[in-house]
Amino acid sequence: MGNESSTVVDDSTPPSVLEARNLEGVAKYIKQRSVQRVVVMVGAGISTSAGIPDFRSPDTGLYSNLAYLDLPEPEDVFDIGFFRENPRPFYALARELAPGQFRPTIAHSFIKLLYDEGLLMKHFTQNIDCLERLAGVPGDMIVEAHGSFATQHCIDCKAEYPDDLMKAAVAKEEVPHCLQCQGLVKPDIVFFGEALPADFFENRELPEQADLCIIMGTSLTVQPFASLPGLVREGVPRVLINMERVGGLGSRPDDVLVLGDCDTGVRKLARALGWEQQLEAMWEATKPDQGTREAEQGPPPTREEQLQDEVDRLTEEVDRTLGFSSAYEERVRRHLEGTSSQKTDSAEETTRRTTTTTGAGQNDSESVGGLGHVFPHLARANKSG
């Protein structure tokens, strides 16, 4: 396990294996070295674009938004000792996090593509959302280091709890109790203070055999998961695709830092590998079934129907606007002729009402409503009128 110094290797230190410390260099390495033992290590950051908040991002992270649960510390919601005392905050949150409401991201599809291309040795995830499974990555290729919602047990007698009862309880934010001993039941996600699943320890040496390591969307703050990248042998490239530099990545000559969002990073790597079309097609296939959606909402409008709707909407807006300006012209003409008629009042009413709406004294370009930004000539015409 190499020392993970905090300094980033500088450009004066050339890579020892890669041609260049970038995704093009990684793609060349994959092709030229016939890479086939890739380990992937991920965290919540690969699911944020699916709509699942991560934990520690400032403002948007889960831990910044749990005030409504009134917890001593945000992480208590996943603390086994706290859960024994008060399981309610967890079940209030579980409903929002439970699988089945989210679509995999293109980063999840990239992991599936690595598998399909025969390169994936093992995928280590800290996530409990099961989106890798939903993206089609086979279960035996995944190490769910922090468990998942896939199963649930009693925390006392360890008896399994039925899936359907669990789903019902989560949906109603109710706390389920063991059918055997009435103890508390929780999904098999690893709480702070609990041991990681045996599957993690049975596979944790695999990074030592890897010929490439890709780390995505994790702060690498929670042990023992955070120690995995350090197990990769020196001289084996490690690619970090993350909003920020974490875990001492960048300290080795063949570390590649891709600081930005995961979806953009995996698209860039796929492009360099010539896999762009397969990746997009694979991700497209993760869309919820069009059939069920059509059954609910009817067939999506055709392009022509969409265009016609847009034309109709704009026509209505223009008619309304022209109606205001011709009433305005009429009013000015009558005013100049020194005449006023009952008809003008009603037209003025329309104009006055709009002027009143936009505030007395404003020139009539404001009283035209919101189309000035759509038809600038209308805004100009009314200013000069």
Under rule CB under 6 A, residue 122 binds ligand APR = no
Placement of tokens 């009283």 in the chain:
367
Closest of 15, 99, 112 to residue 50, by C-alpha = 99
Stretch that binds ligand APR, among 29-37, 92-100, 195-203, 239-247 (CB under 6 A): 239-247
**Cβ neighbours of residue 178 under 8 Å, at least 6 residues apart?**
154, 156, 157, 159, 161, 184, 185
Report the C-alpha gap between 175 and 260 in whole angstroms. Answer: 39
**In the complex, minimum distance from the CB of residue 312 to ligand APR, in angstroms, rounded to a whole number:** 39
Closest of 140, 137, 131 to residue 114, by C-alpha = 137
CA dihedral in degrees (139, 141, 147, 152; nearest 10)?
A: 20
Closest of 374, 149, 146, 114 to residue 266, by C-alpha = 114
- For ligand APR, the closer CB: 250 or 372: 250
Residues in binding contact with ligand APR, number by CB under 6 A: 24
Under rule CB under 6 A, residue 146 binds ligand APR = yes
DSSP 8-state assignment for residue 177: B
Among 2, 61, 99, 369, binds ligand APR (CB under 6 A): 61
Report the C-alpha gap between 243 and 237 in whole angstroms. Answer: 19
- For ligand APR, the closer CB: 178 or 226: 226
Among 23, 26, 48, 267, binds ligand APR (CB under 6 A): 48
Label the pairing between strands 185-189 and 147-154: antiparallel
Under rule CB under 6 A, residue 125 binds ligand APR = no
Give the SS3 label for residue 4.
coil
Site for ligand APR in 311-340 (CB under 6 A): none
Among 16, 180, 221, 290, binds ligand APR (CB under 6 A): 221
- For ligand APR, the closer CB: 78 or 82: 78
**In the complex, minimum distance from the CB of residue 50 to ligand APR, in angstroms, rounded to a whole number:** 10
Under rule CB under 6 A, residue 136 binds ligand APR = no
Rg over alpha carbons for the chain, rounded to the nearest Å, is 30
**Cβ neighbours of residue 373 under 8 Å, at least 6 residues apart?**
379
Under rule CB under 6 A, residue 49 binds ligand APR = yes
Q: Binding site: which residues? A: 44-48, 54-56, 126-129, 154, 157, 178, 181, 218-219, 242-244, 262
Is residue 25 within 8 A of residue 15, CB to CB? The reply is yes
Stretch that binds ligand APR, among 45-53, 293-301, 314-322, 344-352 (CB under 6 A): 45-53
Q: Which residues are catalytic?
A: 146
Among 30, 35, 39, 44, binds ligand APR (CB under 6 A): 44
Under rule CB under 6 A, residue 261 binds ligand APR = yes
Is residue 211 within 8 A of residue 38, CB to CB? The reply is yes
CA dihedral in degrees (9, 14, 16, 22; nearest 10)?
A: 80
Placement of tokens 């698209």 in the chain:
267
Site for ligand APR in 74-93 (CB under 6 A): 78
Label the pairing between strands 185-189 and 255-259: unpaired
Stretch that binds ligand APR, among 5-13, 116-124, 217-225, 342-350 (CB under 6 A): 217-225
Q: Tokens in use for 63?
A: 């831990």
Among 148, 152, 219, 321, binds ligand APR (CB under 6 A): 219
Under rule CB under 6 A, residue 367 binds ligand APR = no
- For ligand APR, the closer CB: 113 or 178: 113
Under rule CB under 6 A, residue 250 binds ligand APR = no
Q: Give contact residues for ligand APR (rule: CB under 6 A).
A: 43-45, 48-49, 54-57, 61, 78, 126, 146, 217-219, 221-222, 242-244, 246, 261-262
